[in-house]
Amino acid sequence: MHGRYTSLTLTINGERRVVAFPTHHTLLEVLREECGLTGTKHGCELGECGTCTVLVDGRPLLSCLALAAEMQGRAIETVEGMQRANTLRPLQAAMADLGAAQCGYCTPAVLLTAKALLAEEPAPNRQQISQALAGVLCRCTGYHKIVEAVEWAAAIERGEPAAPAREALWGSPEPRGATLDPEEDSR
């Protein structure tokens, strides 16, 4: 071993954990390597992609830019902390039901960022959702289904009857007169 080590008691997902790690390690490294919480994804390490986002004291934080040694006394939440027995939270269920999570790499950061938004603003509009999620890059989707999932989950969490738009599940209806046969369309 070389370098200096730090031993701290960190509060992660509501549990106090004694963790020893090299002092220079980021929160991302400690969560993944020392705590085994691999839901927090390792992306760019530059704070540009947002896939490493966790909640610290209820607010989104890029864990690749934060030193773990500065986290004592703070409440850290990872995507694993969203688990509630075997039941999905509305955000998780809406993301799954709408196909908003494709490869899934950005999904933990999206879920945590959306959770923080809904804690602050229970009825966000599309612009607020898009603005909150702007720091989490997704290479698989066009973000539309992610925004719809957050809207749907917000309505459910408010106790309102909610269902996604038909198009969110089934796509847009065919234009009148359209056919599936290209030869027929060219006549």
* Model confidence pLDDT, tens digit, residues 124-134: 999 999 999 99
**Dist CA 155 CA 162 (whole Å):** 6
pLDDT per position as a tens digit, 100-141:
988 889 999 999 999 999 999 999 999 999 999 999 998 887
> Given 43, 66, 82, which residue is the final one in a domain?
82
Q: What is the CATH number of the domain that holds 132?
A: 1.10.150.120
Which residue among 22, 57, 82 closes a domain? 82
User: Would residue 66 count as lying in a domain?
Assistant: yes
Q: What token pair was written down for 128?
A: 């607020």
Q: Is residue 12 part of a domain?
A: yes
- Within this chain, do residues 77 and 94 fall inside the same structural domain, yes or no? no
Do residues 120 and 63 lie in contact, with contact meaning Cβ atoms separated by under 8 Å?
Answer: no
Residue 19 structural domain: 5-82
pLDDT band, residue 170 (cuts 50/70/90): low
Burial annotation 98-118 (CB, 10 A radius, 16+ → b, else e): bebbeeebbbbbbbbbbbbbb
Is there a single domain that holds both residue 98 and residue 75? no
pLDDT at 168 over 80: no
* Domain-embedded: residue 107: yes
In a domain, 117, yes or no: yes
Q: What is the DSSP string of 81-138?
A: GG-BTTB--HHHHHHHHTT--SS-SSHHHHHHHHHHHHHH-SS--HHHHHHHHTTS--
99 in any annotated domain: yes
* Domain-terminating residue out of 21, 47, 82: 82
| Residue 73 sits in the same domain as residue 101 | no
- Number of domain units in the chain: 2
